[in-house]
Amino acid sequence: MKEKILTADWILSSPELPPLKNGAIVIKGSKIEDLGPQKEILSRYPHYQILNFKNKLLFPGLVNAHTHVPMSILRGIAEDLPLMTWLTKYIFPVESHLKREWVYWGTKLSLIEMIRSGITLFCDMYLFEPEVIRATEEAGLKALLGEGLFDFPSPGYGPLERGLALTEELLKAFERHSKIKIAVSPHTLYTCSPDTIKKCLKLSHKYGAPLHIHLAENKEELEEIGKKYKKRPVELLDSLGGLQENLLAVHCVKLSPEEVELLGKKGVKIAHCPESNLKLGSGIAPLPEMLSVGLVVGLGTDGPASNNDLDLFSEMKTATLIHKGLREDPTIVTAKEVFFMATEWGARALFFNDTGKLLPGYRADIAFLDLQHLPLQPDYNPLALLVYSAKAGYVSDLMVDGEFIMRNYHLLSIKEELVRERIHEIKEEILHILRKNFSPSLDK
């Protein structure tokens, strides 16, 4: 049946509205049609199918604003190392042997984790991105996706020109797709020359597509760009015409106050990835300043090889806690703000403007928190439960565009056992590569 009513103990439609106790949501096709107290809704729509969610808290599906999902196959491969050792001794050697099917199965592994933790929309940049697209379409999630572009030949597509051609093909193929959007995705300013960035911008303008890039992530990037171009990263991108409303800039840890202002004025979108920034020793982004100039900031986990999860509950908590502690002020970066970042603002940062809150006219992208888990009791404050107490495993059901993709902890669109088997085999292949070529220490 296309029309249904979901009733639940609590509905948090948006962090700016009070949570609805004993509420009901009306869904017609892929959209939310109405919302209100159960009694009112049930009498207003007498012929709709009713689904009861006792002990559940319904909230907008979470938005993971930046990740590299296939990297789940490298989760935990090397830890607590300097960034360059981690990259050159472990990540790059494996990526130079990267196989198309590893990307597909690594994506599946990550999709399972994201579905089980309430994520309905994500943004990804990696190699062999068509495999990410294939797995995501099969799973039924929404995403902004793009092939990572570099000056040097890519293990995915070969020389840059073929990467740009692939991106253009994808832009055409997904121009009117309801769930998948394509971003032109130059990797960084230190792996893409100004000329490459200009080509990317041209493509982005031609198709009205987002440009997705890592920007000002750490002091090494500042030094390298400074040495090469005598500019700061934001300044360099600005000089190329890159600061614009279509830009999704990831990390932005190393911003001066003037750069925060500038990004705000230009309407740039930000993907803030606090746990990755901490774990890799990049630093702490000036989130309170970003929010105070009205920047649209989403929240991302970054790749599961550097986090090591795809858990936006944990990311929300980290995003709010770290600034309270650092500035010794418990009132800044509130639960409300980080929940906005993980939902509506994240959706806007990914250029999906019809999702991220549960209100009439919006898409029915809904996550269901299972309040049977006792660490979610007592339920004085649903928003605080979501941000400060909920765990990735506590989501029982997930709906995208009005269709369930998980019901009562059972995944409807991915076969978990098959994924487990393939990941086990891929792990053995990767260990073989590392042992043979690069890291005998792994055998210890």
Annotated binding site for substrate: 95, 187, 217, 302
Q: Where in 373-425 does DSSP place strands (E)?
A: 395-400, 403-407, 410-411
Q: Do the Cβ atoms of 102 and 73 come closer than 8 Å?
A: yes
Expressed in angstroms, the distance from the first to the final Cα of the chain is 57
According to the binding rule CB under 8 A, does residue 9 interact with a copy of itself?
Answer: no
According to the binding rule CB under 8 A, does residue 79 interact with a copy of itself?
Answer: yes
According to the binding rule CB under 8 A, does residue 112 interact with a copy of itself?
Answer: yes
Nearer to a copy of itself, 15 or 140 (CB): 15
d(CA 227, CA 3): 60
According to the binding rule CB under 8 A, does residue 103 interact with a copy of itself?
Answer: no
Measured between alpha carbons, how far is residue 186 from residues 144, 210, 260 in Å? 14, 11, 21
Among the candidate windows 6-14, 161-169, 201-209, 374-382, which touches a copy of itself by CB under 8 A? 374-382
Q: Which of 4, 97, 134, 373 binds a copy of itself (CB under 8 A)?
A: 373
Q: Which of 42, 51, 83, 359 binds a copy of itself (CB under 8 A)?
A: 83
The site map against a copy of itself for 376-405 (x = CB under 8 A) is -xxxxx-xxx--xx-xxxx-----------
The site map against a copy of itself for 195-234 (x = CB under 8 A) is -----------------------xx---------------
Among the candidate windows 8-16, 70-78, 118-126, 262-270, which touches a copy of itself by CB under 8 A? 70-78
Residue labelled with tokens 């073989």: 432
Burial of 4 (0-12, 13-18, 19+ CB in 10 A): middle
According to the binding rule CB under 8 A, does residue 284 interact with a copy of itself?
Answer: yes
d(CA 168, CA 145): 13
Which tokens in the block code for residue 76? 């935990």
Where do the H-state alpha helices sit in 8-62?
38-44
Q: Do the Cβ atoms of 243 and 271 come closer than 8 Å?
A: no
Considering only residues 335 to 364 of the shown chain, the ones binding a copy of itself according to CB under 8 A are: 335-336
Nearer to a copy of itself, 153 or 325 (CB): 325
CB of 333 to a copy of itself, least distance (A): 9
Measured between alpha carbons, how far is residue 118 from residues 144, 306, 313, 369, 391 in Å? 17, 21, 9, 8, 10
CB of 366 to a copy of itself, least distance (A): 21
Which residues pair with residue 370 across a beta bridge?
56
Nearer to a copy of itself, 150 or 339 (CB): 339
d(CA 148, CA 72): 17
Q: Which of 109, 291, 347, 405 binds a copy of itself (CB under 8 A)?
A: 109
Nearer to a copy of itself, 30 or 334 (CB): 334
Which residues carry a binding-site annotation? 66, 68, 95, 187, 214, 217, 302
CB of 329 to a copy of itself, least distance (A): 5
Measured between alpha carbons, how far is residue 292 from residues 262, 289, 297 in Å? 13, 5, 11
According to the binding rule CB under 8 A, does residue 438 interact with a copy of itself?
Answer: no
For a copy of itself, how many residues bind (rule: CB under 8 A)? 78
According to the binding rule CB under 8 A, does residue 408 interact with a copy of itself?
Answer: no
Backbone angles phi, psi at 63, to 5 degrees: -120, 120
Nearer to a copy of itself, 105 or 345 (CB): 105
